[in-house]
Amino acid sequence: MKNFPVKDKEKGLTLLELLIASGISVLVISIASGLLINGVRTQESAQKVTDAANTAQQIVRSIQSGVRNASAITVTSNAVAGTQLLLARSVGLDPTTTAPSCQAWYYTPASGGAVYTTKTFPASLITLPSGGPKGIWTQLGTGVTPADPLTGKVFNAPSGSRVELRFDVAAGKHPYVRINTTTYTPQVTSVSLWEPPV
């Protein structure tokens, strides 16, 4: 009969090796999850900045399109409430009528600041809403505040041919998206007195 050699103990992981492998695994998972969480936070922050920029652009585009065709512009402010009303009267693009239309943009600091718009055709006087916009007003954006807290103005019409827009839009943890632009009208305008058409 042949003698077989006695086998060495079967090889496996010792408790120490198992603890080291577990520790390395936990470290790798912690680093990966930290990177993932930071990536998600960065993406959320970027999305809020993008949303704020889109809101700002929507407000600017609306005002620019109305002011460019205006035959009269004016800004009315209520210093106590901090509200403003920008009015633009223009002759419509419809060749069958010369009836003008009136478009207004209303800023209110209430509820974090918002800009609204409305349009009337044929033109009729739109006044500064008391108690906030109701009914026919459409909200263009929220989180809007004046860029210059000293003047507290979002709209300014210092001459008969231009409207200055200076405002910030809240962007989450990012401070804000700032707008500082001027829109011109080629028409002869009046900024001191708004006279509705007869």
Phi, psi of 23 (to 5 degrees): -60, -40
Domain ranges of the chain: 42-184
DSSP, collapsed to helix, strand or coil, labels residue 78 as strand
Instruction: Using DSSP bridges, classify how beta strands 155-159 and 138-142 pair: parallel, antiparallel or unpaired.
Output: unpaired
What is the chain's pLDDT, residue by residue, as a tens digit (198 residues)? 566 555 555 667 788 888 888 899 998 988 888 888 888 887 887 888 888 899 999 999 999 988 888 888 888 888 888 899 998 888 765 566 677 888 899 999 988 899 999 988 777 778 777 777 877 898 999 999 999 888 889 998 877 678 999 999 998 887 889 999 988 887 654 443 444 433
Q: Which pTM was predicted?
A: 0.72
Give the whole-angstrom CA distance, residue 102 versus residue 73.
10
pLDDT at 191: 40
Closest by CA to 75, choosing from 60, 86, 91, 59, is 86
